[in-house]
Structure 1
Amino acid sequence: MKDYKIMGINLPLYFALLAILLVAIGMDVLPAGMIGAFAFMMIVGALLDVIGNNTPIVKTFFGGGPIVIIFGSAALAYYNILPESVVKNVNTFMKGGGFLDFYIAALITGSILGMNKKLLIKASLRYFPTIIGGVAVSLAFVALGGLLFGQAPGESIAYIGIPIMGGGMGAGAVPISQVFANGLGIPAEQILSKLVPAVALGNAMAIVAGGLLDKLGKARPELTGNGKLMEVGDEELHDKEDPNEKLELSDYGVGIAIACVFFVFGVIVASLFKKATGVDIHSYAWMIISVAVAKALNLLPRKFEKACAVWYNFVAKNWTAALLMGIGIAYTDLGQVLAAMTPLYIFLCFLVVLGAVVGTMIVGKLMGFYPIEAALTAGLCMANMGGTGDVAVLTAAHRMELMPFAQISSRLGGAFIILLATLLAPMVF
């Protein structure tokens, strides 16, 4: 244990930091604003992340750290274990302080600009229709299943189908809750409390389904390429690194600036579009479109694209646990979550994952893909919890070589779901 680290910090120093933080909380003198919020969310979030990633069953089927962070922090607030001042400060930082938007801006910009352009175009031409097929069938299954038991199709799609297919928590359920709140006039925290359990259950079911598809491939060899989705050379899947292309510390600032300005551009377009048409499409959607267009048309120098990708990686590595802590405290009502976990809810989650598999196997076959590989990447890697879910699903299926396509599902597929939620919220839900 002497070499074990949390947040890259050895245990004696980490626990010293934690002790100082707990003393400040106990004395109710934790600073207000960003300093106190960041200190609490990063230090405690990192500990909950370690617990989740080392807890049997939870780490294998339920997403590990992210789920424990969200529900653990939600429990700390729900059962009044945290002082009201800490809860209030985190709420202010997440909502009024805009930390959530800041994180999402980095995520959208960096994840899309960091992709290989050829892979992006190839995804839109052949792979993306397969994703759409999986989404369509999964939403149809959950709508019909809900209708069978007296639940409105729109409710089943909005609170179960969309979040499961949305790409996880930070890139899926969180921005989706903002989109729904914007379109429906319902508080985002009330919506997110309904979305979180669906994401967790969908992730668990997707991992189990990955293992079952591997067994199906052994029984029916004609359905699988044994890790090969289609005829694509490795050179098309990865960017060629320029040895002279070195990033400096100042390039992180460039990445921050570009991400923030893309976010501002999305807000401008959303405002103009609403004034012109009366239709309110969330700024996240316009931001996704604008970043994808910039990538496809090479509007930014390669170095700036890389700067945005590196900035996103920094944010994702260092602040994801902090973000999830904020989600748990500011956006997750544990009482509503517990009330949502009914047998019908679990059954509908199963229908979403089943639909994702069936839809992508059928459409993937039509696109010239092997059905099992199509279901794993375009289906289950949409239904899981983003990057960690991708690793878990492909590990269960023994097909880690499919990771580039899994990343398309997690990045562009998740962005597509946000766009879809934006369009459906005012019309259907």
Structure 2
Amino acid sequence: MNAGPARRVPGRLPAAPWTTRAGRMSRRRFRTLNLSTALPLFVAVGAILVARQAQSWQDVVVLGLGLAAVVVAFERWTVGEIARVAVPCLAVAAVVWPYGAFLIDGDAQSAYYSLAVVGGLTVPQLPRRRVAAAIALTAYVGAIGALSLVTGGEVDATGVILDVILPTGITAVVIGVMFPNKGFYDVVAELEESREREAELAVMRERMRFAGDLHDIQGHTLHVVKLKIALAQKLLHSDTERVERELREVYALVSDTITQTKELAYGQRKLNLTAELENARNLLEAAGARVRVERRAEIDSPPIDLLAQVLRETTTNILRHSRATLVRIELAARSITVSNDGVAADDAPPELRGLATLGRRVADAGGELTTRRADGRFLTRATFPATHDGGHRTPIGEERP
């Protein structure tokens, strides 16, 4: 079975499923898979058992209630909300079993079927004493079966097998199978959350780098301005010409700093493509993705700044909007292509404002920025009119394990 169980909350059944973006994506995929494969199987088996063993319309109604409890419990389990229906579903299933055991002639698999399935879905999700609950539920099934056998008259080997051993064994097996199932999806949830935390840390590192660039621009300027103003105060009454010159330099310095700050804020500051490639690799690998970089030719100088900005913005988008495991970066003489996997086909395309802004700037420079999503991959390509483009292919980065 493929549903992701909820995160554990002390003292009660977990009511919240995976809450990170990656966890929600995985939960939706698991839910769709379960509802299309496992749920029809549960319903078919239950319906067959009811049809075979019900001897009156009353039996159909009671056994049907047990099957309904199975459907409700399983549907809620697929979204990690079994806690909301655990008590009523268990109560219904616990009543259906003695009804079938005492009032339906012959073996009544459909009667304990609902209790075995609902118990298997519920017991492993308990925050504590799960083993004790599993033993108690299995013992209840066995006790009802044994009591129905004793009160029914003759006790023989066939009756023991059909009324006691078989119901108890099936219930124990179903519950036992669900324990490792829960453990597996707990690990999946932890991996998903860990992956998203790594991506968040990578974005935080990028923000820290931005803060460092801002400090580099403004920190030195403010320090110099402070010194020049202090000097101007000392010379105010003795060398007014020097004071005027110092103030003009302060004005020019502040104006230049304002310009650089605007360029940094709007992504217009000149960037080093080699440094951006290394930064992109470090950020993506920190988020768990493999990175392959290939250079087909030397980059011409006119578009290199815009190409570096496209790479930076695309890297940020990959970290925020995908669960990429492999990112390919290809550089030609006047173009860059970045493709990544980890894009869910059923999700709405993210709104990429940064790339939209860059697209206008690339167009103003005579180039073209395109994005495309297909087959679970997202591709971003920025190209400029080719003046020359050699066919030499020089790897500057190899895929890392």
**What TM-score bracket applies, with the shorter chain setting the length?**
under 0.3
Q: Give the TM-score, by structure 1 length.
A: 0.23
Structure with more of its chain in helix, by fraction: 1
**Greater relative CO, 1 or 2 (CA 8 Å, sep 6+):** 1
Q: Which has the larger radius of gyration?
A: 2
